[in-house]
Structure 1
Amino acid sequence: MSTRKIAKYDNTFKDRHDAYKGHGTHVAGIAAGRKSTYGSSDETGDADGIARDAKIHFLDLKMGSGGMSDPGASRWFESIYNGGRGAKVMNGSWGRSGRPYSSHCANYDGALFENDDVVMVTSAGNKGDGGPRTIKNPGDCKNTFAVGLTRSSGTTGGDSQVLNWSAKGPTADGRAKPDILAPGYAVLSANSNPYRTNECDSSGGTRSSSGTSMAAPVVAGLAALTRQYFINGYYPNGYQSYGQGFEPQASLVKAVLMNGAQAVKAGQGIDSTRPHDSIQNMGQVNLITSLPLDGANKINAIVVNGKDIADQASDEMVIRVDMTECDEASISVTMAYTDPAAFPGCGSCLVNDLDLTLTDEHGVKYYPNGLSKEDTKNSAERIRLNSVSHNQKFLVKVKASNLSRQSQKYSLVATGCIKEESFVTPTEEPTQLPTYLPTNDPTGEPTSSPTNSPTDYPTGGPTQSPASTEQTAESRLSTSSVPTTKEPAQTATTMAPRRNPIYNGWPDLIP
């Protein structure tokens, strides 16, 4: 890759080049590569990255076949974030052994809490065949976005399977990991070759490889596109509206990607898997089911970006199902926040506890993450209902149950055929639900609750994507069945988003 792509190459720790068939070049190409033949742009999209017109800030952590140097959180942010003037999406396709929630994790969580506009994507690791709790740090930190591995069939992702060697959760203190899955098997991307420059063609400029190292940059590229969606004013209508743009918090970007993620099937060696388990958690990322995009889907979205909530306070929003111009029968609501760092070795590492609930008109309350009660372990919570009716109303509630400080920022996204009725921040805990919710109890609290948590997905597998799935991330990945070797995660890659027009259904990042 030439200077048309690289914003900066930091070789403070190692050298200024990648080895033949180097790991870092391949990872960077998946996230933001753009195929070039003799220095010109190739518009076919073959071997292009997800955010193909983003710039890359490359932090070299490895020399040839030698060991890797972890620069630590402070060096990462000094080099890459640069006081907010640098990249806002970081990808670390590497991992290291360490005791549960080490000082290493505390440092990364602290840096991400202080710089809460930065999304740090990490690979989950390739040791999943060793059983549960096989995710290494920084993937098992609270504020990093750990990505597991799927193998996709075709471009729709409808037959995607999570592979057995994709590292599994939970963490030692019971937090859900990996956060999300992405295609990472036989991915075609850039190949480093010391004997060739400024070229990326079929005679040696590209190669296929597999691993969570390949899945992570898929999510990093999608995170960059999601940021650009909001910055360029595509929210809320799905097309660019000047003057509507805003800078999204990292928690909003993560909430969007988790909210639209879809269930996958169990691959060879896995007996079974379902959403929110230690194998797939939120499922496989899919932008087409994550945000409205004119001409590509028919869903609405409501977002809350980095809103402060005080300790013991509640935020409430009423949403109404409106299928007048929309035909999506499900709704999905996800809340996420960037939690302060915990003490190393913590037995329960969540510091600030926010709780998400959804209550219907009959007083039935739904809880997140497949639970039948509040989630007190995770900083990301999702509720999905697969069958809703026109004009049905729901109360979305976020409560600050236990904070270590006066307030905590959170983000929220709700998608489906929905409209917002109201958003209120009560000055104190409400004594009853809104009047549209019937109740037979004098206290006003709902008198019934579901015996089971809502089913995330219908029986028989994941919800199929719309017909326009050629615009999803999977379309940029090779479906070749050529076997490849699992590679260890080693190299850090980052992207600096740029403003741009629409390309192939989703915003590209053009300098």
Structure 2
Amino acid sequence: MSEPDQPSLIRHAGRSLDPRTEPATGQGGRGVVQFHRPLTRAERDRMRREHGLALTDYLPDNAFVERLPSWRLAAVEGDPLVRAVMAFGADLRRSATGGRRTLVRRRSPRYEVSLFPDADLPAVLTGLAGHGAGEPVVVDDRPHGGAVKVRFALPEPAEPALAAIAALDDVRWVDEVGEPKLDTGPVTAAPATARAWAGPIWALGLTGAGQVIGVMDSPIDLGHRFFADPRHPVGPAHRKVTGYRNALEEQPARHGTFVAGIAAGDDPDQPGGHPDRGVAWAARLTYGNADDLERTGVLAYLAAAAGDGAYVHSNSWHDEPEIQYDQLSADLDTFAWQREDHLVLGSAGNRTERMGPPGTAKNVLSVAASRGPAPAGFGDGATGPAAGGRHKPELMAPGCSIRSTVVGTQAGVDLDRNVFVSRTPICASSWATPAVAGLAALVRQYYVDGHHPGGPLVPSGALLRATLIAGCLPDGGGQYPSDTGGWGVARVEETLRGPLRIRDVRHADGLDTGESAELQVDVAGGGRPLTVTLVWTDPPGMAGSDAPAVNALGLTVVPPGGRPPLPGNVFAGGFSTPGPAPARPDTVQRVLVRQPVPGRWTVRVTATAVHVGNPGQGYALAVTGDLAPAPS
């Protein structure tokens, strides 16, 4: 017996379609299989076993893109769990508007096709050549958990060829190759903040020692004293730089050098003593040139940084695709989903520009600039929301009038790189992002070195995000969280001083559709706000999705004494209030209680829909407030 029909649209590539009114898939082609509702793990297993479905390429709502040979089609359509089947046609494999990116460095556009995992690459290359594609470059990300991509040039007008290329069966998405834009912003008259705001965290004994931060930017001046090591080449023994990738062999540049100094620069003659040292001054760096991405791909670069020991990855640049959730976004989410212990950060862009990845990817922590430590006003960053209505950016950090390292040559004159630092007079999310990357390295040291009362642990990227966001409080700026400053200015010292209760659940032990888990916390008094922060790392969506969220978790906090439960992300005046659960598909949900009543509070995480699990959906919780010690 089939389930009752509840009309549900496919939202992809700028289109909204009801599969029941669309043509079915053709012989052996790609099809969209839509279900009546989210499937349980047992139901997913049965669909794979009986029908050979992969159930990995998710489309909202409740649908997956599958290869459907004719002998399989009738059985799939007749399954009682299936609502409808339609063709995954060429119009769903590229933007509905066909808009062009604004090019800065390249004179003419280049294009990219992303392929399905079972694609016949030689056949695709033959098909591309047959439609006039030239200068093909294959980026094979399968060793890094991704897909094969082919980048190529086309003669103008390109539109007829692009339409034909999108119809190739093995092509999943067609797009224009973007260019990284470095995120510097407007001039400000705010006072220099340097790294004074990080002092309270250093006082906790956290310096970044033992941590490596990956930086993808313009080339760093390795000769600058804050990064140099005259005794060792770049590598595992180097004082400051464990890896350096610059395939284009570009010269050291102002932006990357300044960014790297903010994250982890330090003077070897006075370790931890220079007033302009980086936030995680005892951490090390591994570097990649963002301009290399066109030929290398972001997954390979992130994997190389991980090989150098980096678990925190900073990106002070963004792209502006026509459809915001593009293949770059999907690749970034793939990296975070498959490497749960890693955290990727991206700048929110400039306030005169559109948002784009990396910062708009679901699992990337998006950072805007504040004018100083909390409380402080907004300084720079593009305005959200991100694709699907998600809250972006997620937090702010000081990014105005910052002092950091300056590249050692200017107009051919060699500067004194032993001491040369400078204050830039601008506000930039580019400066705030490495500052938060430095904070993330400090937080990771907090967990790995056993500063947390629970003892040493390897934190997930979700727990790092939750811990960074947990210290953010309303700043009186109106809507909370806002689409300019997110949850507010990072105040990590407030979280790490404790009390702090955490739960870090990997995907292997995660939740399935309909399941829930609880954490009991005892509140001793109302002297501090009670904050509960839930973060999860979502599976990658399909490039081109207008609503890229895949799995949905819900946060509910139940006060003692029969008081009404508080759902995540329902606020009035910056603090939680009872009400219906929010519609926004964020991977961050919070409950904030200004003056919590003493007693036992219940924190409940519920899996509303787990469409793609590994095998379940992991999550992290960070709870702060006037908490009694956890039961032994």
TM-score between both structures, scaled by the size of structure 2: 0.57
Is residue 191 from structure 1 mapped to residue 423 from structure 2 by the alignment?
no
Residues 365-407 of structure 1: CA deviation (Å, up to 9, x unaligned): 1122235333450111111101123x32211100011001341
What are the within-5 Å matches in structure 2 for residues 95-494 of structure 1? 95-98=318-321, 99-126=323-350, 128-129=351-352, 134-152=354-372, 157-163=373-379, 165-194=380-409, 196=414, 199-201=417-419, 204-208=420-424, 209-236=426-453, 244-264=455-475, 272-292=477-497, 299-307=498-506, 308-323=510-525, 328-361=527-560, 362-370=562-570, 372-375=579-582, 377-389=585-597, 391-404=598-611, 405=613, 406-419=615-628
Does the C-alpha gap of structure 1 residues 112 and 158 become closer, same or farther in structure 2, counting only changes over 3 Å?
Answer: closer
Q: Secondary structure at the match of 1:225?
A: helix
Does the C-alpha gap of structure 1 residues 421 and 30 become closer, same or farther in structure 2, counting only changes over 3 Å?
Answer: closer
C-alpha RMSD over aligned residues: 2.3
**2:289 alignment partner in structure 1:** 60
Q: Matches of 1:198 and 1:232 in 2, distance apart?
A: 37
Q: In the TM superposition, what is the alpha-carbon distance from 1:333 to its structure 2 partner?
A: 0.5
- Does the CA-based 8 Å contact 1:261-1:284 persist in structure 2? yes
Q: In the TM superposition, what is the alpha-carbon distance from 1:45 to its structure 2 partner?
A: 3.4
Does the C-alpha gap of structure 1 residues 367 and 420 become closer, same or farther in structure 2, counting only changes over 3 Å?
Answer: farther
Is residue 2 from structure 1 mapped to residue 2 from structure 2 by the alignment?
no
- Does the CA-based 8 Å contact 2:272-2:281 persist in structure 1? no
- Does the CA-based 8 Å contact 1:191-1:207 persist in structure 2? no
Q: Matches of 2:516 and 2:430 in 1, distance apart?
A: 39
Of residues 14, 27, 30, the one that matches 2:259 is 27
Q: Matches of 1:70 and 1:226 in 2, distance apart?
A: 33
Of residues 286, 305, 318, the one that matches 1:80 is 305
Q: Secondary structure at the match of 1:227?
A: helix
Q: In the TM superposition, what is the alpha-carbon distance from 1:54 to its structure 2 partner?
A: 0.6
Q: In the TM superposition, what is the alpha-carbon distance from 1:69 to its structure 2 partner?
A: 5.1
Which of structures 1 and 2 has the larger relative contact order (alpha carbons within 8 angstroms, sep 6+)? 1
Q: In the TM superposition, what is the alpha-carbon distance from 1:7 to its structure 2 partner?
A: 1.5
For 1:407, give the aligned amino acid.
Answer: G
- Does the CA-based 8 Å contact 2:570-2:581 persist in structure 1? no
**1:18 alignment partner in structure 2:** 252
Q: In the TM superposition, what is the alpha-carbon distance from 1:422 to its structure 2 partner?
A: 7.2
Does the C-alpha gap of structure 1 residues 43 and 110 become closer, same or farther in structure 2, counting only changes over 3 Å?
Answer: closer
Q: Matches of 2:375 and 2:501 in 1, distance apart?
A: 29
Q: In the TM superposition, what is the alpha-carbon distance from 1:280 to its structure 2 partner?
A: 1.6
Q: Matches of 1:60 and 1:211 in 2, distance apart?
A: 20
Q: Secondary structure at the match of 2:628?
A: strand
**1:48 alignment partner in structure 2:** 277
Residues 107-140 of structure 1: CA deviation (Å, up to 9, x unaligned): 11112100111111111011x246xxx3221111
Residues 128-159 of structure 1: CA deviation (Å, up to 9, x unaligned): 246xxx3221111101111011101xxxx344
- Does the CA-based 8 Å contact 1:110-1:341 persist in structure 2? yes
Q: In the TM superposition, what is the alpha-carbon distance from 1:73 to its structure 2 partner?
A: 2.5
Q: Secondary structure at the match of 1:254?
A: helix
Does the C-alpha gap of structure 1 residues 70 and 400 become closer, same or farther in structure 2, counting only changes over 3 Å?
Answer: farther
For 1:32, give the aligned amino acid.
Answer: A
Q: Matches of 2:517 and 2:444 in 1, distance apart?
A: 25
Q: In the TM superposition, what is the alpha-carbon distance from 1:214 to its structure 2 partner?
A: 0.1
Q: Secondary structure at the match of 1:303?
A: strand
Is residue 91 from structure 1 mapped to residue 314 from structure 2 by the alignment?
yes
Q: Secondary structure at the match of 1:110?
A: helix
- Does the CA-based 8 Å contact 2:408-2:417 persist in structure 1? no
Does the C-alpha gap of structure 1 residues 169 and 303 become closer, same or farther in structure 2, counting only changes over 3 Å?
Answer: same
Q: Matches of 1:399 and 1:102 in 2, distance apart?
A: 29
- Does the CA-based 8 Å contact 2:408-2:416 persist in structure 1? no
Q: In the TM superposition, what is the alpha-carbon distance from 1:56 to its structure 2 partner?
A: 0.6
Q: Matches of 2:493 and 2:302 in 1, distance apart?
A: 31
For 2:599, give the aligned amino acid.
Answer: Q
- Does the CA-based 8 Å contact 1:73-1:111 persist in structure 2? no
Does the C-alpha gap of structure 1 residues 90 and 198 become closer, same or farther in structure 2, counting only changes over 3 Å?
Answer: farther
- Does the CA-based 8 Å contact 1:318-1:420 persist in structure 2? no
- Does the CA-based 8 Å contact 1:90-1:119 persist in structure 2? yes
- Does the CA-based 8 Å contact 1:339-1:352 persist in structure 2? yes
Q: Matches of 2:478 and 2:267 in 1, distance apart?
A: 36
Q: In the TM superposition, what is the alpha-carbon distance from 1:312 to its structure 2 partner?
A: 1.2
- Does the CA-based 8 Å contact 2:243-2:285 persist in structure 1? yes
Q: Matches of 1:70 and 1:183 in 2, distance apart?
A: 34
Q: Matches of 1:314 and 1:251 in 2, distance apart?
A: 18
Q: In the TM superposition, what is the alpha-carbon distance from 1:206 to its structure 2 partner?
A: 3.3
Query: Max radius of gyration: which structure?
Result: 2
- Does the CA-based 8 Å contact 2:371-2:427 persist in structure 1? no
Residues 202-258 of structure 1: CA deviation (Å, up to 9, x unaligned): xx3434353000000010000000000000001127xxxxxx211000000000111
Does the C-alpha gap of structure 1 residues 28 and 328 become closer, same or farther in structure 2, counting only changes over 3 Å?
Answer: farther
- Does the CA-based 8 Å contact 1:236-1:302 persist in structure 2? no
Q: Matches of 1:34 and 1:114 in 2, distance apart?
A: 33
Q: Percent identity?
A: 26
- Does the CA-based 8 Å contact 2:558-2:564 persist in structure 1? yes
**2:59 alignment partner in structure 1:** none
- Greater than 3 Å deviation, 4+ residue runs: 42-45, 68-71, 195-200, 204-207, 419-423
- Does the CA-based 8 Å contact 1:260-1:289 persist in structure 2? yes
- Structure 1, unmatched stretches of 5+, are 238-243, 266-271, 293-298, 424-511
Does the C-alpha gap of structure 1 residues 14 and 179 become closer, same or farther in structure 2, counting only changes over 3 Å?
Answer: farther
Higher fraction of helix: 2
Does the C-alpha gap of structure 1 residues 420 and 341 become closer, same or farther in structure 2, counting only changes over 3 Å?
Answer: farther
Q: In the TM superposition, what is the alpha-carbon distance from 1:309 to its structure 2 partner?
A: 2.0
Q: In the TM superposition, what is the alpha-carbon distance from 1:354 to its structure 2 partner?
A: 0.8
